[in-house]
Amino acid sequence: MNENTNEKLTEANISTNEFLAKVEEAAREGAKQGSKGAGRGISPFELLKTFILIALIAGVGFMVYRFNNFTGNLKDIVSREVPVEERDLTLENHGILGYTAADFQDAILGDSQQLKKLEVYSTEISEAATLVDTGLANLKVFTKTQLFNYKGTVTYTVDLGGLSKEDISLDEEGMTVHLKIPHAVQEEININENDIELGDVDRGLLGIGEISMTPEEQQKLQSEARNKMQEKLDEENVIAEADRFAKMSVWEIYQPIIDKVTTGYSLEVEFE
Its pTM stands at 0.60
Sign of CA dihedral 234, 236, 241, 242: negative
Which ranges of 79-175 does DSSP label H, i.e. alpha helix? 101-115
Are β-strands 144-159 and 185-186 bridged in parallel, bridged antiparallel, or unpaired?
antiparallel
Sign of CA dihedral 93, 94, 99, 105: negative
Positions in the chain short of pLDDT 70 = 1-51, 53-98, 111-115, 207
Helices 215-235 and 238-261: crossing angle in degrees, nearest 10, is: 70
What DSSP designation does 194 have? G
In the chain, domain spans = 3-79, 101-271
Query: What one-character-per-residue DSSP string does 39-91 give?
Result: TT---HHHHHHHHHHHHHHHHHHHHHHHHHHHHHHHHHHHPPPPPGGGSS---
- Which of 272, 265, 240 is closest to 95 using CA atoms? 265
Q: What is the pLDDT of residue 32?
A: 59
Q: What is the pLDDT of residue 161?
A: 87
Q: What is the pLDDT of residue 5?
A: 45
Q: What is the pLDDT of residue 114?
A: 66
Q: What is the pLDDT of residue 262?
A: 87
Q: What is the pLDDT of residue 17?
A: 61
> b/e per residue, 9-21, with b = 16+ CB within 10 A?
eebeeebeeebee
